[in-house]
Amino acid sequence: MIGRLQGILVAKQPPELLIDVNGVGYEVQVPMTCYYELPGLGEQVTLWTHFVVREDAQLLFGFNTADERALFRLLIKAQGIGPKLALTILSSMSAGQFIRSVQLNDVTTLVKIPGVGKKTAERLVVEMRDRLKDFTGANYDTGLPGEKPALITSPETTAKDEALSALLALGYKPNQAETVLRKVTTDDMSAEDMIRQALKAMV
């Protein structure tokens, strides 16, 4: 089990990272709420991780705090919620916003997340309400993340391309992602700001 990584951030393309730990490169998938807080390329980063082994893949998911990882682990225990969907949920809203949605039985907000239908949302609220009673990660901000570092892009790739790629990786359909990006973004915005505004508009 790989529970924690500390190394140099070599590359990042939302929602994936490459972290060099003593010469070994680890590919890690992170929710956008974690991605927003990353340092620049070449700097040291520490992530709490969850390792998933499947027949066709071995996947590593990363989080800024042990509490965020704990919430992810609670999510994937819910019926019909796999690691990828759990990552999408925690990318579409902060941990605090998710907890608040569960507490308020806010199915309407949850069904706007790609891959979460009405039945899944209703079941998720019921199952998570019980599990969150014992959840110790109590002090979560229910607002959106604050200022975020600019995404480093190659000259050939525009910020909008980066944002679109991230939304598609999170499960949004191409037409849906392109439409919302046109509505909420401007050319002078960073890719991360575009992603944040798009996710906010869709949830």
Rounded mean pLDDT, 14-26: 93
Tell me the C-alpha distance between 44 and 9, whole Å. 6
The mean pLDDT of 11-34, rounded to a whole number, is: 92
- Name the average pLDDT for the chain: 82
Strand 58-63 vs strand 16-21: parallel, antiparallel, or unpaired?
Answer: unpaired
Residue 24's pLDDT is 95
Report the pLDDT value the prediction gives residue 138, as an integer from 0 to 100.
45
According to the model, what pLDDT value does residue 203 have? 63
151-158 contacts at long range (C-beta below 8 A, 24 or more positions apart): 151/12, 151/14, 151/190, 151/191, 151/192, 152/12, 152/40, 152/41, 153/191
User: For position 152, what pLDDT does the model report?
Assistant: 34
Q: Say what the pTM is.
A: 0.71
Q: Is the pLDDT of residue 154 over 50?
A: no
Interacting residues of 36 by C-beta distance below 8 A, sequence separation 6+: 145, 148, 149, 192, 196
Sign of CA dihedral 36, 72, 117, 53: positive
pLDDT in the model for residue 141: 46
The SS3 of residue 188 is coil
Tokens of 189: 């915005």
Per residue in 79-93, pLDDT (tens digit) is 889 998 999 888 888
**Would you state the pLDDT for residue 130?**
80
What's the one-letter identity of residue 67? D
- For residue 133, the model assigns a pLDDT of 74
Give the closest residue to 185 by CA, choosing from 177, 109, 171.
Answer: 177
Q: What is the pLDDT of residues 51-107, one digit of tens each?
A: 998 888 889 999 999 889 999 999 999 888 999 899 988 888 888 888 888 888 889
Per-residue pLDDT at 132 exceeds 60: yes
Pick from 189, 186, 191: nearest CA to 157: 191
Q: Which of 22-36, 80-94, 143-157 has the lowest mean pLDDT?
A: 143-157
| Domains recognised in the chain with CATH numbers | 4-63 (2.40.50.140), 67-132 (1.10.150.20), 159-202 (1.10.8.10)
Distances in whole angstroms, Cα of residue 115 to Cα of each of 27, 28, 103, 140: 24, 21, 21, 25
